Amino acid sequence: MLTLDSEQQAARDWFESLRDRVCAEFEVIEGEAGSDSRFAYTPWNRDDDASGASGGGVMGTMKGRVFEKVGVNVSTVGGAFEGEFAKSIHGAGDDPRFFATGISLVAHMANPHAPAIHMNCRFLRTTKQWFGGGADLNPPIPYAEDTADFHARMKAACDAHDLDYHARFKAWADEYFYIPHRQIHRGVGGIFFDHLEGGFDTDLAFVRDVGEAFLDTFPALIRRRMGQSFTEADRARQLEWRGRYAEFNLVYDRGTLFGLKTGGNIDAILMSLPPLATWS
């Protein structure tokens, strides 16, 4: 059984509360489109498994008229990294024990004009402790207005805490969300940060503002695009783009690897993959 201290519990509580608010808003959007789709929640746990790991999480998924597939997962787990993998994790080289809690969200939209999105925030503790996360916009058909609005809101969240954050974290996102074998970026960017160790309260406040920025801006972008008409060519473009998205998540994404290496729920880990995709 996983026992949490006050900081671990505070981080977990925030991630779960953000999940609840995001899912409620997405269900409202489905209702605005005349759909009664709702999230289905699947709990999972791994207490007392063979590796000594404990904890678990809840996978939330919805398929509807606006959201072709959206997943919002929260997990809180502890245990020990195995073998050489421990050496790749901040602060775990000499002591493989860890704690991790976080939220991960990926939305694939039915309308090709509406952007897909990825957002995650996490708190980890090894011999060190830190926050990481970010959000990036992934439109099959980019619109300069949407890109500008998204980046402006993320910049505002960053600027409220450190005027250097946005330039650093935007550049980090551009570097990270890149598909080397295609020599293209996965989307139009956003922010990405890791190993944020400025103090628990300070960094949790920043992570909270990133979550609020996501909740402020992404539903507005959905509503802007979800009713637009589209062609078969637009849909084909979306499905091909989704193939690129899948390639990144399966080959390069650190979160996918972390989940697999720590014995997470396979369905929750691969929730990020689109429901349909094509390769030419």
pLDDT in tens, 66-99: 999 999 999 999 999 888 898 989 999 999 999 9
* Tokens 């390639």 belong to residue: 247
Stretch 104-113: mean pLDDT? 98
* Tokens 């409620």 belong to residue: 24
3-state SS, residue 72:
strand
Q: For residue 245, what are its two tokens? A: 């998205």
Residue 243: per-residue pLDDT: 96
Residue 58: per-residue pLDDT: 96
Stretch 193-204: mean pLDDT? 97
Left (φ > 0), alpha (ψ -120 to 50) or beta: where does 232 sit?
Answer: alpha
Asked if 239 and 278 touch (Cβ cutoff 8 Å), the reply is yes
Q: Does position 280 have pLDDT exceeding 90, yes or no?
A: no
Stretch 28-47: mean pLDDT? 94
Residue 204: per-residue pLDDT: 98
Kindly report the CATH class assigned to 6-272: alpha beta
Cα–Cα distance, 57 to 44 (Å, whole number)? 5
Asked if 236 and 278 touch (Cβ cutoff 8 Å), the reply is yes
Give me the percent of the chain exceeding a pLDDT of 70.
Answer: 98
Which contacts of 151-160 are long-range, i.e. CB under 8 A and separated by 24 or more positions?
151/189, 151/190, 153/213, 153/216, 153/217, 154/190, 154/191, 154/210, 154/213, 154/217, 156/213, 157/206, 157/209, 157/210, 157/212, 157/213, 158/191, 158/206, 160/209
Expressed in angstroms, the distance from the first to the final Cα of the chain is 48
Cα–Cα distance, 254 to 260 (Å, whole number)? 10
Asked if 204 and 103 touch (Cβ cutoff 8 Å), the reply is no
Catalytic position from the list 108, 118, 151, 166: 118
Mean pLDDT of the chain: 95
Residue 49: per-residue pLDDT: 53
The half-sphere exposure of 77 on its side-chain side, counting CA atoms within 13 A, is: 29
Residue 153: per-residue pLDDT: 98
Known active-site residue 108: no
Q: For residue 51, what are its two tokens? A: 């590796």
Residue 48: per-residue pLDDT: 56
278 — pLDDT class (breaks 50, 70, 90): very high
Indicate the domain borders of the chain.
6-272
Q: For residue 209, what are its two tokens? A: 């503002």
Q: Does position 50 have pLDDT exceeding 70, yes or no?
A: no
Cα–Cα distance, 265 to 58 (Å, whole number)? 9
Asked if 122 and 133 touch (Cβ cutoff 8 Å), the reply is yes
Stretch 2-18: mean pLDDT? 96
Q: Does position 160 have pLDDT exceeding 80, yes or no?
A: yes
Residue 124: per-residue pLDDT: 97
Stretch 229-238: mean pLDDT? 98
258 — pLDDT class (breaks 50, 70, 90): confident
Cα–Cα distance, 231 to 111 (Å, whole number)? 10
Q: What's the pTM?
A: 0.94
